[in-house]
Structure formats: C-alpha cells, structure tokens
Amino acid sequence: MKVSIKRKISNDLKAFISRIVLFFLYRGFKACYKFDKSAKEEIDSWNEGFTFIIETGVKNVNLCIKKENKKIVKIKETKNADIIIKFKSIDAAFLMFTGRLGVASAYAEHRFTLKGEINKAMTLVRVIDLVEVYLFPKIITKHILKEVSKKGTNILRTYIYVLTNI
C-alpha cells in the first residue's frame, strides 16, 4: 500500500511527538511513585517483576516498564509482559498522548487492545491517570478524566524531578 508524502510526514511527526510523550510518561511514573502516596500504593500492589508495554504500532515508539527492586525501570523489551496495551494506529496513540482522548474513552472506542489481567490493567490505568494529573494542565485533565484526583505533592517538585530525574 502506497502512502502519500503528506501522510508519511504526518505519521513521522506523530511518532516523534509520541516518543517525547512516552519519555515524559516514564519520568512521570517514577516521580509519582516517589512523591504521590496513591500512585505508590497502586504500584506497590504490583508483584516484583511486573512489566507492562505500551505499543503504538510504529517501530521503536513504545514504552516498556518493569517494577524491579521497589523501583520503576525502563527496559528495552520483554517477551513476558503482564500487560500489553497496543494501539491500533499512531493516530489513536497520538490522540491519547496529546490529551485529546482519555484512556477510558480510547478503550471504549476500541482504539487499542489490552492483553493481560483486567484487574492489573485497572491499577495501571489509575497510575496513568495520576501521572496525567501531574503532567497535563487542569484544563486538559478535566476533559479526559472522569474525576481529577488531588495531587499528593507539589507540582513544581514533580516537574523538577521529571525534567532532571534527580
């Protein structure tokens, strides 16, 4: 199937922006685990070695995270992920990553597939929601989340951690 130049450029731009969002999502996970009590409780409920993957369907635009030694670590790949969220297109991933579509809406609209235990996936979604509360401005989160959780720590502290990773 031949793709137009305009569509190729659009997909490349969406893939580039998605890589950036996944980079900050990973850092947001680490920050929330460190500073937010609710996120820490959710992540602590995961078994040691719990792994999840978010795939966009575009080569090298994915995120693979593992809980290891009571830390959140990014790994290159795994064969045995507990949860795999696979978007059906870069367009669907881009809508969610840019705050135009929430996780619940994306799932309801069949924009991604989920492989793994639904109860573990729900804990993951709750953490993603918390990360979004910290990373996105309130004007965006009130449109993509049913309920905007209270922040358990100072947002400036979180941003500094996400940007510097110290």
Q: How confident is the model at residue 115 (pLDDT cuts 50, 70, 90)?
A: very high
Q: What is the pTM of this model?
A: 0.84
Model confidence pLDDT, tens digit, residues 18-29: 999 999 999 999
More confident residue, 162 or 130: 130
**Residue 148 CA to chain centroid, in angstroms?**
17
| Of 91, 31, 93, residue with least CA distance to 62 | 93
| Residue extents of the structural domains in the chain | 5-164
Per-residue confidence (pLDDT) for residue 146, from 0 to 100: 62
Per-residue confidence (pLDDT) for residue 63, from 0 to 100: 94
Q: What is the mean pLDDT of residues 148-154?
A: 64
Could you give the CA distance from residue 47 to residue 70 in angstroms, rounded to a whole number?
Answer: 10
CATH T-level fold of 5-164: Nonspecific Lipid-transfer Protein; Chain A (3.30.1050)
Torsion (CA) 76, 77, 83, 86 in degrees, nearest 10: 90
Is the pLDDT reported for residue 6 higher than 70? yes
